[in-house]
Amino acid sequence: MTTKHLLAAVDEDAAPLTHEQLRELYALMASVRHLDTAAVAWQRQGIIPGYAPQLGQEAAQVGSGYAVDRTMDFVFPTYREMGVARAMGVDMVGYMSTHKATWHGGMYNPLESRFAPIQAVVAGSVLHAVGWAHGQTLSGKPDGERGVAMTYFGDGASSQGDVHEAMNFAAVMKAPVVFFIQNNGWAISVPTERQVAGGSVAARAAGYGIPSLQVDGNDVVAVFEATRSAFAHCRAGHGPVVIEAMTYRRGPHSTADDPGRYRTLDEERLGAGEDPLERFRQRLLADGVADAAFFAEAQRRAEEEEEAIRSGIEALGPRPGAEMFSLVFQEPTPTLQSQATAWRKESEHV
Partner 1 sequence: MSETITEAPGTATDTAAPVLQMSMQQALNRALDEILADDPKTVIFGEDCGRLGGVFRITDGLQAKHGEERVFDTPLAESGILGMSVGLAMAGFHPIPEVQFDGFAYPAINQIICQIARMNYRSRGTLPMPITLRVPSFGGIRAPEHHGESLEALFAHVPGLKVVSPSNPHDAYHLLKYAATRPDPVIFMEPKSRYWQKGPVDVTSATPGTEASDGGSPTGARVVREGRHLTLVAWGAMVARCLQVAELAAEDGIDVEVLDLRWLKPIDAEALATSVGKTRRAVVVHEAPLTSGLGAEVAQLITQRCFDTLKAPVERVTGFDVPYPSGDLEDEYIPNIDRILFGIQRVLEYRRG
Residues that bind partner 1 (CB under 8 A): 74, 76, 103-105, 107, 109-111, 116-117, 121, 124-139, 149, 161-162, 165-166, 168-169, 172, 323, 327-331, 333-336
Residue 253 contacts ligand TPP per CB under 6 A: yes
Neighbours of 305 (CB within 10 A): 17
Please identify which of the residues 70, 262, 283, 344 carries the catalytic annotation. Answer: 262
With vertex at residue 300, the alpha carbon angle to CA 295 and CA 303, rounded to the nearest 5 degrees, is: 125
Which is it for the CA torsion 297, 299, 302, 306, positive or negative? Answer: negative
Contact 95, 82 (CB under 8 A): yes
Look at residue 214 and give its three-state secondary structure: strand
Q: Which stretch binds ligand TPP (CB under 6 A): 154-162, 222-230, 264-272, 325-333?
A: 154-162
Q: Is 77 an interacting residue with respect to ligand TPP (CB under 6 A)?
A: no
Residue 104: which of ligand TPP, partner 1, none does it interact with, CB under 5 to 8 A by kind?
partner 1
User: Pick from 23, 33, 34, 80: which binds ligand TPP (CB under 6 A)?
Assistant: 80
Sign, CA dihedral 147-14-64-91, equals: negative
Q: Which of 110, 154, 211, 240 binds ligand TPP (CB under 6 A)?
A: 154
**CB-based contacts of 19-22 (< 8 A; 24+ apart in sequence):** 19/289, 22/221, 22/284, 22/289, 22/290
30 binds, among partner 1, ligand TPP, none (CB under 5 to 8 A by kind): none
Measure the CA–CA gap between 75 and 201, rounded to whole angstroms: 20
Question: Does 122 sit near ligand TPP (CB under 6 A)?
Answer: yes
**329, interface contact from ligand TPP, partner 1, none, CB < 5-8 Å by kind:** partner 1
Answer yes or no: 262 catalytic: yes
Among residues 249, 250, 281, 310, the one annotated as catalytic is 249
- The radius of gyration of the chain's CA atoms, rounded to the nearest angstrom, is 21
Give the 3-state secondary structure of residue 243.
strand
- We find the least distance from the C-beta atom of residue 144 to ligand TPP, in angstroms, to be 33
Positions annotated as catalytic residues are: 249, 253, 262
Residues of this chain that bind ligand TPP (CB under 6 A):
80, 120-122, 153-157, 184, 186-188, 249, 253
